[in-house]
Amino acid sequence: MTTFSLATPQVYTDTLPRAVDVVVIGGGIIGVCTAYYLARSGVSVLLCEKGRIAGEQSSRNWGWVRQHNRDPAELPIMMESNRIWNSLSAEIGEDVGYRQHGVIYLASTGKKLARRESWLEYAREHQLDTRMITAAEVEKMIDCKAGQWVGASYTPSDGRAEPWIAVPAIARAAHRRGVLIRENCAVRSIEKTDGEVSAVVTEDGVVICSRVVLAAGAWSSLFARNLAIRLPQLTVRSTVVSTTQAPDVYSGNAADEKVAFRRRQDGGYSMALCDLTEHFIGPDSIKNIGKFIPAMLTEWDTYRLAPSAPAGFPDAWRTPRSWADDEISPFERNRVLNPSPNQRAVDKIMQRAKARLPALADAQVSHSWAGMIDTMPDVVPVIDQLDNPKGLIIATGFSGHGFGIGPAAGKIVAELVQNKPASHDLTRFRLNRFSDGSKIELGPAL
């Protein structure tokens, strides 16, 4: 298994077309799935990726495909995504690494168990198979230290997939359907005519189009800012550990309040902390702090603030906030956002995992990595079609929940692009919820 970086060989070098119907900015799970579903509908698409397909968070996430503990507005979309995942390998003719082994949310106290149980009202509303299980049931399902959990909530129909396998496989499927893909090709800006999208300006030239999808993950806010669009998105660092092959303590995904783990196809585990949210302070932090206060107060003990982002990061102090179409953009100066993992977090992950799962006592760190998660003040994404400029669709800020929901989210964005009736209620995901006086309603963080 692997994440991707600028050292990863470039795969896609399609010739820049003169014109297409749609340009998708960003080669992560959202952009790739959007392009795939547009191509299925016969729409001509150019996908521009400044670095590598799945180079950033889409190859660095936990690999969870979960309906469990979703925001109520996300849940119907995620349930559709789960159905897509189940048939995706057969549809595209490649294994995406999806396996349905369930998700367990563990609780160490009665109070925390009650919090887990409170979400079941949403599961029942949508006939989802989530149920509560006892401590004895937990210990039958997970090879763990006895007596540490009082119970859990469990969704058998949830699953897992391998991010570094799935996203490139979907990109190949989109390419086979006619999507033009160009890596090492940053989109610098959008051209408008009478308030409507008329072209994109890339580092390699201009492409005429009438629709643009902004699915640039951690970079979306910076791109929008250059267009005078306020998108209150910040980024947080997530450190993940990959272990060597180890005994099968549980074949699915599980998490308590401190640590999460997922069995991988290669016999190792991907693991991360559940109580650490690391944010590098930058100009956007200052500008948007007021909107993030509710989330920070709710999870105040998990937040760690660093004084400044490393050079070249989207919200670094010296990263330009505006540039001309003929200037080298920040996207070209940092092709693949590759943050260093937090070594203290790596050590803590292993300590906690081994304390809970004694069968992993001999497991070693194979390697570790970090990714920058695009997050919104209410922990749910923006999926919206803008009026100014008309023809720009934004799909970003999935707040660490994007991998699992990606296929259905891409399908929805493709509907928006084609002006088709939305198959789900997208009211919760409109951009103007942050500017029209609406109260910020927090979604579940994990």
Encode pLDDT of 292-307 as tens digits. 999 988 888 898 998 8
Strand partners, 199: 191, 208
Which residue from 440, 435, 405, 314 is spatially nearest to 28, judged by alpha carbons?
405
Q: How far apart are CA 438 and CA 443, in angstroms?
A: 15
Q: Is the pLDDT of residue 327 over 90?
A: yes
Residue ranges of alpha helices (H) inside 372-420 are 402-417
pLDDT over threshold 80, residue 445:
no
Predicted pLDDT at 140 = 98
- 446 pLDDT tier (thresholds 50, 70, 90): confident
What is the average pLDDT value for the chain, to the nearest integer?
A: 97
Share of the chain above pLDDT 70, in %: 100
22-102+157-434 CATH fold: FAD/NAD(P)-binding domain (3.50.50)
User: Mean pLDDT over residues 379-407, rounded?
Assistant: 98
**Helices 402-417 and 163-176, interaxial angle, to 10°?**
20
With a CB cutoff of 8 Å and minimum separation 6, the contacts of 119 are 68, 69, 130, 153, 444
Return the pLDDT at 3.
Answer: 83
The DSSP code for 24 is: E
| Rounded Cα distance, 195 and 147, in Å | 62
Residue 219 identity: W
Q: Supply the DSSP symbol for 427.
A: G
Q: What is the DSSP letter of 440?
A: P
| 3-state SS record for 364-377 | CEEEEEEEEEEECC
DSSP code string of 113-173: HHHHHHTHHHHHHTT---EEEEHHHHHHHS---TTS-SEEEEETT-EE--HHHHHHHHHHH
Confidence of residue 178 (pLDDT cuts 50, 70, 90): very high
pLDDT band (50, 70, 90) for residue 130 = very high
Element (H, E) at 386: strand 382-387
| Average pLDDT of span 189-218 | 99
**Adjacent-strand bridge partners of 255:** 105, 260
Asked whether the whole model's pTM tops 0.85, one would answer yes
For 349-358, write each residue's pLDDT tens digit. 999 999 999 9
Q: What is the pLDDT of residue 1?
A: 54
The three-class DSSP label of residue 360 is helix
- Angstrom distances, CA of residue 407 to CA of 3, 31, 414: 20, 10, 11
Instruction: CATH 3.50.50.60 in the chain: give the residue spans.
Output: 22-102+157-434
Q: What is the pLDDT of residues 55-96, one digit of tens each?
A: 999 999 999 999 999 999 999 999 999 999 999 999 999 999
Of 174, 230, 203, 168, give the one whose Cα is nearest residue 45: 174
Query: CA separation (Å) from 366 to 1, 243, 267, 309, 340?
Result: 10, 5, 12, 27, 16
DSSP state of 102: -
Percent of the chain scoring above 90 in pLDDT: 95
CA distance 323 to 320: 7
CA nearest neighbour of 143 among 361, 345, 364: 361
What's the average model confidence in pLDDT over 15-26?
99
Q: How far apart are CA 283 and CA 265, in angstroms?
A: 41
Q: Give the integer Cα–Cα distance in Å for 423 and 420.
A: 9
Q: How far apart are CA 124 and CA 131, in angstroms?
A: 9
